[in-house]
Chain A
Amino acid sequence: MGSVVVNNIVKTYGTKKAQVTALNGISFEVAPGELFGIIGPDGAGKTSLFRILTTLMLADKGEASVDGYDVVKDLKAIRKRVGYMPGRFSLYQDLTVAENLEFFATIFNTSIEENYDLIKDIYSQIEPFKNRRAGKLSGGMKQKLALSCALIHYPSVLFLDEPTTGVDAVSRKEFWEMLRRLKEKGITILVSTPYMDEASLCDRVALMQEGKLMSVNTPSGIVEQFGKPLLAVRSGNMLQLLRDLKQCREVEDAYPFGEYHHAVMKKDFSQQELEACLKNHPGVTIKAIQPDIEDCFMDLMKN
């Protein structure tokens, strides 16, 4: 059975006149021990979903369970066994690092010593500052303290809501390495992120947009579903190249992608015709590439 089971969850906000549908019939399952990513931009509904699964909010419709416990009926059991790190820093700013950790350990009827093994890796990095107030920590240290507090009762399922938003590339890499090590200890992890490139670090991902899941699959499975030829194209005049690509008959879509433009081609396109279409770009580089998650996300957004 799934560690997290979500069945047709609907959540709306606002009044009847101005209603916003945050979650529009969401269903998926997460297997025990899985590192599951929910990938989507701001406003996709990621936080609403996490708040329902952590029993902090009720859905309008649908059912969900965590570790076999129902999110409505068994909320106390769920709260005892899950760890939750909200997107906004939610620890006590005027308690020290050590006091925060102690507080959460006590609340969950355990002690720092009992589960120190689990958090050692992470907590040891901020332990030199254990007498500093949490409000005075840097962003990276706050994040490590919040993760330590979410883990101190050895949860079976860990919910991390956008832990890497606004975090630089180096710290993001380190954070994902920490998650890998936690996964090895058997903890099921649900993590949300707006960064598409983090998808490849998950076992499976759900691509989310406007309250709906567009696809749930392994990262490689999502890439395989793309099903259209994709080219990376580059020339001396990138702005004009983008305009020209969009005019080519064999190009379905073209958009900037870092150093190159990506061109989504019609099936069975002819390379010769494309080259003819781009004749005003001497020395143009054209190469066939594998799509990444961001290509897939944009493609799914159009459907």
Chain B
Amino acid sequence: MEYVIQAEKLSKTFGEFKAVDEISFQVSKGEIFGFLGANGAGKTTAMRMLCGLSIPSSGKATVAGFDVYKQTELIKKNIGYMSQKFSLYEDLTVKENMQFYGGIYGKSNQFIKEKTAAIIEQLSLQNEAGKLVGSLPLGWKQKLAFSVAIFHEPAIVFLDEPTGGVDPVTRREFWGMIYQAADRGITVFVTTHYMDEAEYCNRVSIMVDGRIEALDSPHGLKKTFGTDSMDSVFLKLARGAARSAD
């Protein structure tokens, strides 16, 4: 089995506070991995370490084969990232955003040209390619942001609540794009507050108070906790949390 993420007893402490407390897990190539937890459980801190933005306090981890202590620049080159908040430059056009991100990742003009054309075709944005991103409806922005996050064909893409506030139809189209990316071998690491979306993941981990309290397929989790919905699995675990924060 080829692992794209391997974490072993990965921890981050701020003073006395154990934001992430010895989490261990692996994510396979092409897997859609749901990373769930209540606000304050430590998801963001864990993700920042995996993205090479924060050095762990202890433990081991590799992302795309690179070490999270020593090879953070190589990690950044080989991952994609998208969140609900940070996405694209609103005052650049659709095309300019793609050129910009392609350039940042050091892609050739030829690559950028071909990839831009392919994405515009895929999202049916022919009439919008020259328009400012700020003028697009939110649903389009999020789909475009995802395409841009995987523009450089990263080994793994981190999605931090990518569908927050998006309408239900677009939310499903977005997941269609996630499936296509996973099908091409891109590993997807995704957080969400929508429990129905947890069902779309191959496996789901649930963090409580800095630790991973459960990790299994949605089916397996429901079986273990004796319920028929991910919503109640989550509630059962998160209700036991001692801390709540953002």
Contact = CB atoms under 8 A, between A and B. Distances in A.
A170 B167 contact: no
B39 A168 contact: yes
Interface string A243-264: 0000000000001111100000
B246 A258 contact: no
Interface in B192-215: 193, 195-196, 199-200
A171 B244 contact: yes
A94 interface: no
Given A138-B245, A140-B39, A259-B199, A194 B175 contact: no
Interface stretch (B8-16, B111-119, B145-153, B234-242): B234-242
Contacts of A259: 199, 218-219, 229
Contacts of A239: 179
Contacts of A123: none
A159 to B, nearest CB: 19
B137 A298 contact: no
Contacts of A41: 138-139, 165-168, 170
B172 interface: yes
Given A42-B165, A294-B168, A169 B231 contact: yes
A186 interface: no
A43 interface: yes
B162 to A, nearest CB: 13
A255 B165 contact: no
A223 interface: no
Given A169-B238, A257-B196, A139 B39 contact: yes
Interface string A31-53: 00000000011111000000000
Contacts of A75: none
B164 A138 contact: no
B39 A167 contact: yes
A140 B246 contact: yes
B164 A169 contact: no
B222 to A, nearest CB: 8
Contacts of B229: 258-259
A298 to B, nearest CB: 5
A29 B139 CA distance: 30
B175 A256 contact: yes
Interface string B7-43: 0000000000000000000000000000001111000
A283 interface: no
A138 B244 CA distance: 8
A290 interface: no
Interface in A146-165: 165
A120 interface: no
B172 A301 contact: no
Contacts of A255: 169, 172
A239 B179 CA distance: 9
A166 B244 contact: no
A239 B193 CA distance: 23
Contacts of B193: 166-169
B40 A194 contact: no
A173 interface: yes
B136 to A, nearest CB: 10
Interface in B144-184: 161, 164-170, 172, 175, 179
A258 B196 contact: yes
A196 interface: yes
Contacts of A40: 167
B230 interface: yes
Nearest to A297: B168
B71 interface: no
Contact of B161 (A43, A140, A166, A170): A166
Contacts of B137: 43
**Residue among A44, A173, A259 with max Cβ neighbours from chain B (10 Å):** A259
A139 B244 CA distance: 9
Given A43-B138, A259-B199, A301 B167 contact: yes
A277 B19 CA distance: 51
Given A138-B244, A170-B38, A258 B168 contact: no
Contact of A256 (B40, B172, B235): B172
Given A41-B138, A255-B172, A170 B239 contact: yes
A194 B39 CA distance: 18
Interface in A67-101: none
Interface string B214-227: 00001100000000
30 contacts: A41-B138, A41-B139, A41-B166, A41-B167, A41-B168, A41-B170, A43-B138, A139-B246, A140-B246, A166-B164, A166-B193, A167-B39, A168-B38, A169-B231, A169-B234, A169-B235, A170-B234, A170-B235, A170-B239, A170-B241, A194-B164, A194-B166, A256-B175, A257-B196, A258-B195, A258-B229, A259-B219, A259-B229, A297-B167, A298-B169
In order of increasing CB-CB distance, the 6 nearest A-B pairs are A139-B246, A138-B245, A41-B167, A42-B165, A258-B196, A168-B38
Given A40-B167, A167-B193, 6 more contacts: A166-B193, A168-B38, A169-B238, A255-B169, A258-B199, A298-B169
